[in-house]
Structure 1
Amino acid sequence: MQWQAIGCSEIGSGHIKTGIPCQDFCGHQIISNNQVTIGAVSDGMGSAAHSDLGAKIAVQTTLNCLNQRDWLNNSINESQAQAFFDELLETVVKEIQTVAKKEGYSVRDMACTLLAFIATPNWLVAMQCGDGLIVIRPQSSQNYQLIFQPQKGEYANEYVPITSASADQYMQVKVIAEPIDFICAATDGIEHISLIKSKQWKAYDKFFEPVETQIMRSHKTEAEKKNIVSDWLKSDDINQRTDDDKTVLLCIQNSQNHNSSSGPIQSSNIQLNPSPSPSAISQSPSTSRDPIESLEDDSLNSQPSYNIQPEFDKIKEDIYKFTQNQYHNIDIKLSFKKRILTISVISDQKVDQKNFIDLLRRIDFNDYELPIKEVNINHRGNRNHQYWQYKFSLDSIQPWVNKMLYIILIVILMTLISLLISILSNGLLMQILMYIVYSLILIISVDIYVNQSR
């Protein structure tokens, strides 16, 4: 059995508009007489100025490390794999630090993810740090399996890059002790069209099956296969679904055990539509196959009217810009809910609360395309213990002014009601009734005030 592989990275439409280079990178090598394939994929953090360089260094260094062992004649267990990838991660980060120092960059400006794998005829071992996906199809199955759940960190749209001090705590490692016929390692640019979020990020068979059968197992040459994938990733159909960079690394192990439900593969039946549909690769009319479709996931249609991630990138870039002279080794995590922007400052070093708040107040949060009414800031360590917390409002009227006005209004209202009771209540029964109404109004007012204060 022998391996075949192609890798392809294409810039996202959003990066084309803003003049940002493609921040994805991938690479692979087929070694040991085509019996073993090693691969790596990296996605540079959008807010990091030189993350494209960081991603390239991460992949190249990983491949160099993976190519130093004889995987064909040696097996590996979970604990050995964990120890190996711990060492590999440390090596990659040291190389990034070396280049950053040489070029005069901040290590944070080269932040990126990393996915890596080694596949032999009989087993596969993989690691993932950050978001992205690795999907496989074991030789014993016709179903596609996601190895690791998407890693987003503590907050939505966030992940822990390999340059973070806590990266080793988030790295995932797995050994699969059976032959694998198909591998797809990819960045999160294709996440929403290849995984079903509503089913706990299940691999979408109708996406991966045509990729394997119609492309990788066709009789096309390696260059032709790569061109097909490249054209598809650049297509308007894909760019309408995601404006992020897209990278896929596809590998197959030549085997007679793969039986496609669509019948044998004939290369003459594979052609590219002039205007790619959800299936950029389609069959000729004489042969019908299931196309690469969009996901049947209602969550994709429930996005807010504003795009959070680009604004998060802008906010983080501004925060780093104003704080980097005094605080070099901090991570920023953002979340946005009910018009409240939460900024988590994560580091083991001391961050002075007053000084940091003064630096953040130089940022005009009204300039971003998010309806922010309040900013919460908290400083905590990598071990998740809290140091300090602070919040301020962006409303034109400060919260304490709103509260005072509310109290004054309640006092006036209750005074008027008291006067009304004294005028209208001639009998004991009427007095009791009026005071019950008075008490109810007071209780409701206090309850509203308490809820506003939370």
Structure 2
Amino acid sequence: MRWKITGSSVTGRSHADRGESGQDCHRAGCIRRGDNEYFIGIVADGAGSTTHGGEGAELACGCMYDRITDTLRKTGDLSCITDGEIREWIGASRSAIAAEAVAKEKRLKDYACTLLGVVAGQGHTLFFQIGDGAIVVSADGGEYETIFWPEQGEYANMTFFATDDQFSDHLGIRHFSSAPAEIALFTDGVQNLALSFAQKKAHAGFFRPLFDALREHPEGGFLDFSRNLSGFLTRDDVSARSDDDKTLVLAVLVQD
């Protein structure tokens, strides 16, 4: 078994109209250990109210991805990774952001960002999330499950961040004893398109065509499909429903 993956982060119309850069970021890839191939997907969204949220998101994604790959190269067994180790990964990312803030004479909260991640192998999958956005999976391409519902604060457009002092209080962690056939990670710019908040369910009609297209795409087509995904996320009808930055990472498990 192996993974086919793609991902895209696009600047929302609200930022583009003001000449601002997007504040979303993602890292996605695969590493192989023996006969097992692992999918790693990380997504982060810089807080719109901050001055350096996009930089915080980029630092968080990069540090998390590096810590996860280092751990997998040492252990090669996802089932041995504890919740405490996941908290240490996030703590290391937070430290990297804090060091950047000190170097630039900024505050840590100036780099505030959400953080979502998946690490999946054939025998185990772990998920973690702080803040809004969501992770959606399917075991067989049928029913779609939201791993954590987007966590929002007391007021509209308020959420929680990996840079918060009490980040661990809002950290969700789950383990599966197998790998889902389909995995999606996305920021809050996508969640109103992909989720029904009234029913607290994922829209199968949103995900199924995307996963089918990825599964059927020819080998070596990661970049081509990413361009197609970027085009989809910036379409006028999509932007009309959400003018925020949008990040979407997709992975499907396929037979060799």
CA contact (8 A) 2:44 2:113 kept: yes
CA contact (8 A) 2:5 2:214 kept: no
Q: After TM superposition, give the deviation of residue 183 of structure 1 in Å.
A: 0.8
CA contact (8 A) 2:78 2:125 kept: no
Deviations 1:394-446 (A, max 9, x none): xxxxxxxxxxxxxxxxxxxxxxxxxxxxxxxxxxxxxxxxxxxxxxxxxxxxx
Q: What corresponds to 1:155 in structure 2?
A: 155
CA shift in 2, pair 1:216/1:248, >3 Å: farther
The 1-side partners of 2:78 and 2:65 are apart by 19
Q: After TM superposition, give the deviation of residue 249 of structure 1 in Å.
A: 0.9
Q: After TM superposition, give the deviation of residue 216 of structure 1 in Å.
A: 3.8
Q: Indicate yes or no: 2:230 matched with 1:230.
A: yes
Deviations 1:117-160 (A, max 9, x none): 11001221010001111011114x62111100111023332111
The 1-side partners of 2:20 and 2:148 are apart by 29
The 2-side partners of 1:24 and 1:146 are apart by 21
CA contact (8 A) 1:48 1:111 kept: yes
TM-score of the aligned structures, taking structure 1 as reference length: 0.53
TM-score of the aligned structures, taking structure 2 as reference length: 0.93
Q: What corresponds to 2:209 in structure 1?
A: 210
Structure whose CA Rg is larger: 1
- Mean Cα displacement is larger for which, 66-75 or 152-161? 66-75
| Aligned residues: CA RMSD | 1.7
Q: What corresponds to 2:112 in structure 1?
A: 111
CA contact (8 A) 1:81 1:173 kept: no
Q: What corresponds to 1:63 in structure 2?
A: 65
Q: What corresponds to 1:102 in structure 2?
A: 103
Q: What corresponds to 1:76 in structure 2?
A: 79
1:167-206 equivalence runs, <5 A: 167-200=167-200, 202-206=201-205
CA contact (8 A) 1:49 1:110 kept: yes
Deviations 1:2-51 (A, max 9, x none): 11211100000000112221000000121016711112100000000011
Q: What corresponds to 1:38 in structure 2?
A: 40
The 2-side partners of 1:117 and 1:232 are apart by 23
Aligned residues: 252
The 2-side partners of 1:110 and 1:214 are apart by 35
CA contact (8 A) 1:27 1:40 kept: yes
Q: Which amino acid aligns with 2:64?
A: T
Q: After TM superposition, give the deviation of residue 84 of structure 1 in Å.
A: 1.3
- Structure 1 portions without partners, runs of 5+: 257-454
Deviations 1:359-381 (A, max 9, x none): xxxxxxxxxxxxxxxxxxxxxxx
Question: Which of the pair has the greater relative contact order for Cα pairs under 8 Å at 6+ separation?
Answer: 2
The 1-side partners of 2:202 and 2:216 are apart by 20
Q: Which amino acid aligns with 2:212?
A: T
The 1-side partners of 2:47 and 2:216 are apart by 33
CA contact (8 A) 1:7 1:248 kept: yes
The 2-side partners of 1:95 and 1:49 are apart by 17
Q: After TM superposition, give the deviation of residue 74 of structure 1 in Å.
A: 1.8
Aligned-partner SS, 1:250: strand
The percentage of aligned residue pairs carrying the same residue is 27
- Structure 2 portions without partners, runs of 5+: none
Q: After TM superposition, give the deviation of residue 181 of structure 1 in Å.
A: 1.1
